Structure 1
Amino acid sequence: MPGEEPFAMSQIFQVHISDDRMSASLAIKPTEEAEESVDVKRLSDLLAASGVRVGIRQELLSAIAQNPKAYFYTDNIVAAGTQPTPAVNGYVKVLFEDQDQSRRPVEREDGSVDYREMQQLANVKAGQLIATRVPPLPGKPGMTVTGEPVVPKDGREASFKIGKNVVVNPEQTALYAAMDGLVTKTEKDKLNVFPVYEVNGDVDYHTGNIDFVGTVVIRGNVLTGFRVRASGDIRVTGGVEGAEVESDGSIEIAGGIIGSGKGHVKAGVNVKCSFMQESNVTAGQDVIVLQSIMHSNIRAGRSIRCEGAKGLVVGGVLQAADLVVARTIGNAMSTVTSIEVGLKPELRQELADLRLQVRQLADSLEKTEKALVLLDQMAAAGQLSPDRLAMRIKLNATRRQVTEELKDVKAHILDIERELEDTDLAAVKILHTVYGGTKIVIGRYTRFVKDSAQRVTFKYEEGEIVMTSLV
């Protein structure tokens, strides 16, 4: 009878629609009937009866109709919906950044650098536009196999990260300078306009230490024992000796840093200079050195780059969260040089401090336990005086407190160690040569370089640090 055909078809050919309605599959019952009297129209009618209307793979239906047996035991996706095109998130376009990026120092043939162009400050006037807020772009809807539209998620609106001496228009679409000064990006990408304080010469006994709520430009050197502190950027046309130079923004030093193991240079954003020798340097994001890093301790929240004509790193410890790039690491004398990536440097230090704290807490707990054992024995013998009873109560409270504190510290260590395992993007890249004596640390894994190699990358893969040719 005509009414029995759809029923017979649905018994042999079963349509399954996925929960999200983005695909439909056809399961074929392995019977002789499945190989008889089936054609594309009947299969199409069966899909339509099941509600499948969009994205039907006609070529697959034709293949099934010609040879159903070949599709008995496979997952036959006969229709696929269209995924929505995702929206584009909004963003803040900082107008001064494009100009700043173009102000790159000119590198001479001998590897030295002309910083004169870099020292031209990007000043703004009160009322000048600094940044605009670009709205998100909508995505395009998709469609399920049953013909229902799939609406994409809306893109996220961007918001200004407002620092000091800036104002936003009522529509929240533009950011302006509230005063004459220098546009400076500080930690967490806040935009500020700071006044500029210029020193026409060295920072020495004549000027004394400098602590300024703004940007500092020093047209000379910073001598050993002095301190320069700024809320904005710090620009030094000369060099920095064993001094303390700290900025919430970035620090640029034309003549390099010769620390002699004294003082430090610390920036909330980037540190850029020509060379570093026996220096202590910390940057919230990047450390960029054009010539060499010699026997220095460098920490960077993102990357350390030494890629100039010389691009030499010898001795010391370099720690970066993501990437270290240099032309040459180590030397023919196998000077010990340690390169560590895969974890923010401050977390590595925190992990070392926490492990020391665990040992101290464990020692304290052990002493408390031994004292309690003696007091418990005296209590069992009825020899516990009122003073010792009070001590016993106090030690029990101490044991509970130390045990809880030890548990919290161990949990914190576990959190950091989990981050140590997340090292997929961390890498050490050598553009020319890496020498024996170099120690490579990625996350919790260590590899010692025994023989020199050229143009290689070190990355973590499947439980070990591997060395591959630099692409």
Structure 2
Amino acid sequence: MNTKLQEAGYGRCFLIQEQITNLLVEYQQIQLKIKDQLQPVGTPLNYRIAEKRPAELSFDINEDKMAAAAIITAAWGGDPISANMLVKSAQEAGIVFGFSKEHIIKLVTHASKAEPGSKVKLVIARGRAAVHGENSRFEALIPEIESRRNKPLLQSEEKADLRDFGVIPAIRSGESLMRRHPPTPGVDGMTVTGTVLPAVPGMVVEWSQGEGTEFSAADADLLLAARDGLPRVIEQGATVDEVFTVKNVDLATGHIIFRGSVVVNGDVSEGMKVVAGGNVFVKGFVEGLLVEAGGDIKIGGSIIGHQIATAEKDSEYSTQLKAKGDIECNLAQYARLTADGNVYVKKQIMHCAVSAAKVYAGPEDNPNGKVIGGYYYLDYGIYTGNLGAPSSSNIVIELNRMIDPIVEKQEVLRASITAAKNDMQDIREQVEKLKKIKGSPQIDARRQELQLEFEEQKNVAVALIEDVKVLELQRKEKLSQALIIVRQQLFSAVEVRFDKDGIRSRREYGPSKIILVDGSPAIEPFF
């Protein structure tokens, strides 16, 4: 029958099965009548067995009203849905914003060729999310005062003097330091149904005026230097440090303790200390006992401590560097480096204990240096050429510096939850005892008090549980950002810990990355 309908040009029409059934029943009855000569041969039999039906259209709007899809049921030989018809029907259904002309044409074209009765669905409109305004933004007007991150001054196209950081940034009184850009208002969003989603405007962030600075009399958003010195970015502002310059730090000079920035044109000798409120620049080597800075520490040469048997978490080191910002050097060995920011080592770091956000061994844009032995306590990870050494010197890397405080908070909260639950159990037991005592106004009043206490403890426990859940989301988010990239070779005896989960390399690998995969540490190829 389908073949005959196709030949007759009705192949895409809708077959009316009930009519076909009725046709066959009546046909059998006529055959019997013809057999009994109750009806002549050739009696015509007419039934409407197929009909043209136009395409059908419906819409599916997301619950958040940020996307709407059109569903077309392909026509049974009838009229298809045109793009204009679709848009008009969508508007009648309340969809008025975010139409995609490309998607609409794609949908109606595909539906016109689809099998009759089949459903074709495609998103034809998307809402626009509100773009919230940005808070005040602070721009340093002297490029040199922002961390140049391991980019030494090039002397020629082929050669760089790794002991020269170029001209140490300096500023004179009255020069511009930093500009505060105003907050932005943001851009309102809109749902596909035309509801405006108001943007939250940015807020004015107040200056944090450091020492040695003043505001421009003509522009409250411009910060100027109030004295000559070394400029340094601080949060939401800048400061101009006074500068102490010395050739070397040794027994002849004694320890250097200075509230501003310190520039050492030579070396920091064994046993000596340099403590600065600002940045510390050392053009030579550091073998001293301590270099501490309220900003960055930049070492043109190497950091060299006394050799120790094994570099572990609690090992004692003869040389320590502590910075509120970044630490940069050419090479580091047998030293403890602690930085709120990153540690940048141009060539190699050996058997050190490092606490930092990230460690880069080699240039930041192509970390090709070496990390050999030691203990690392990091926020995010390590980027290097080689990690470990053929000698299988142990390396322990804990990517937990941001995780441990979260876990500690969770433990405190869980202890509080346990205490609240114990209190709830005590109250419940008291209520049960009171139920066994013959009722009186005093007993009833006490039971009501206990019930109120129970509800209070329950509310406390629920709030604490919610806090634990929020912290758990933060913990997982931080862990997902942890990453170790080894661009050349990963050796054995490298142990990496993500919170309490760990993985240890037991052979040599080529270019690799160490990350969490489905919540578990894994070593994967790095391309």
If the length of structure 2 is used for normalisation, what is the TM-score?
A: 0.64
Within 5 Å, give how 1:378-457 maps onto structure 2. Answer: 415=471, 419=475, 422-457=478-513
CA distance in 1, matches of 2:201, 2:79: 49
Counterparts in 2 of 1:351 and 1:227: CA distance versus 1, 3 Å: farther
CA distance in 2, matches of 1:173, 1:454: 52
Matched with 1:334 is 392
Is the Cα contact below 8 Å between 1:124 and 1:182 reproduced in 2? yes
CA distance in 1, matches of 2:213, 2:171: 11
Select 1:320's aligned residue among 372, 378, 386. Answer: 378
CA deviations on 1:214-241 (whole Å, 9 max, x unpaired) are 0011223223333221110011122222
Amino acid in structure 1 at the alignment position of 2:292: E
Is the Cα contact below 8 Å between 1:427 and 1:442 reproduced in 2? no
Matched with 1:9 is none
Matched with 1:167 is 214
Q: Confirm or deny that 1:104 pairs with 2:159.
A: no
CA deviations on 1:439-464 (whole Å, 9 max, x unpaired) are 12233321111111122111111132
Amino acid in structure 2 at the alignment position of 1:307: G
Q: Confirm or deny that 1:231 pairs with 2:277.
A: yes
- Give 1 or 2 for the bigger CA radius of gyration: 2
Matched with 1:253 is 299
Counterparts in 2 of 1:156 and 1:26: CA distance versus 1, 3 Å: same
CA distance in 2, matches of 1:102, 1:45: 58
CA distance in 2, matches of 1:253, 1:445: 35
Matched with 1:177 is 225
Amino acid in structure 1 at the alignment position of 2:526: L
| Structure 1 residue 286, shift from structure 2 partner | 0.5
Is the Cα contact below 8 Å between 1:84 and 1:139 reproduced in 2? no
Matched with 2:125 is 80
CA distance in 1, matches of 2:109, 2:85: 11
Matched with 2:324 is 268
Matched with 1:277 is 333
Select 1:195's aligned residue among 223, 226, 242. Answer: 242
Structure 1 gaps of 5+ residues are 1-11, 359-407
CA distance in 2, matches of 1:263, 1:349: 27
DSSP-derived class of the 1:424 partner: helix
CA deviations on 1:106-162 (whole Å, 9 max, x unpaired) are 5899x9962554163211111111111234556565655455665554455555443
Amino acid in structure 1 at the alignment position of 2:283: T
CA deviations on 1:409-450 (whole Å, 9 max, x unpaired) are xx9999589626732221111122221111122333211111
Is the Cα contact below 8 Å between 1:104 and 1:117 reproduced in 2? no
CA distance in 2, matches of 1:413, 1:201: 54
Is the Cα contact below 8 Å between 2:133 and 2:200 reproduced in 1? no
| Structure 1 residue 44, shift from structure 2 partner | 5.3
CA distance in 2, matches of 1:221, 1:128: 32
| Structure 1 residue 88, shift from structure 2 partner | 6.5
Is the Cα contact below 8 Å between 1:92 and 1:160 reproduced in 2? no
Matched with 1:371 is none
Query: In terms of mean alpha carbon deviation, does 98-107 or 113-122 score higher?
Result: 98-107
Question: How many residues are treated as equivalent by the alignment?
Answer: 404
Structure 1 vs Structure 2: percent identity of aligned residues? Answer: 22
Query: In terms of mean alpha carbon deviation, does 251-260 or 79-88 score higher?
Result: 79-88
Counterparts in 2 of 1:27 and 1:192: CA distance versus 1, 3 Å: same
| Structure 1 residue 190, shift from structure 2 partner | 4.7
Query: In terms of mean alpha carbon deviation, does 46-55 or 291-300 score higher?
Result: 46-55
Select 1:344's aligned residue among 401, 416, 419. Answer: 401
CA distance in 1, matches of 2:476, 2:96: 49
Amino acid in structure 1 at the alignment position of 2:224: Y
CA deviations on 1:239-258 (whole Å, 9 max, x unpaired) are 22241211110111222222
> How large is the Cα RMSD of the aligned pairs?
4.4
| Structure 1 residue 58, shift from structure 2 partner | 5.4
CA distance in 2, matches of 1:20, 1:310: 48
Counterparts in 2 of 1:269 and 1:60: CA distance versus 1, 3 Å: same
